[in-house]
Amino acid sequence: MKVAVTYENGMIFQHFGHTEYFKIFDITDGKITNSEIVSTMGSGHGALAGFLKAQGVDTLICGGIGGGARMALEEAGIRLYGGAAGLADDAVNALISGNLSFNPEVRCSHHEHSGSGHSCGSHGCGSHSCH
């Protein structure tokens, strides 16, 4: 299994489409055998599913995520665990043990507000919900 986590300063970054880094974990026989932090090299939103697929990722843990990205991940065959929060390493260990807290219905609602000028780049989603 190869698991990617949206990543910033040890934590799960809360907006998939704006993540600058993923922490990618190799898991064999229920144990983490390797991990590395990789830059998205400026890729965003729709391009990230292809980026993860090229990295060999089959599972993603993230915070908020929009509908288009969800569909792109599904088409790429990547299992999604959205709506997660906290430390990236803890989330992967919880996934391995079957105790990961996530929201299978997670949506970033601000994607519905076209023209609002909203940006999650610094990620304080303000009045918008990314869960």
* d(C-alpha 8, C-alpha 99), whole Å: 22
Check residue 112 and give its pLDDT.
42
User: Whose CA is closest to 6, among 35, 19, 17?
Assistant: 19
Q: Are 92 and 25 in contact (CB under 8 A)?
A: yes
Check residue 97 and give its pLDDT.
96
- 72: its two tokens: 């792109």
Per-residue confidence in pLDDT tens, the chain, 131 aa: 999 999 999 999 999 989 999 999 999 999 999 999 999 987 766 689 999 999 999 999 999 998 889 999 999 999 999 999 999 999 999 999 999 988 877 766 544 433 333 344 434 443 334 44
Check residue 108 and give its pLDDT.
61
* d(C-alpha 61, C-alpha 113), whole Å: 25
Check residue 46 and give its pLDDT.
67
3-class DSSP assignment, residue 129: coil
Check residue 71 and give its pLDDT.
92
The pTM of this model reads 0.81
- The single residue listed with the structure tokens 């780049």 is 121
* d(C-alpha 2, C-alpha 24), whole Å: 7
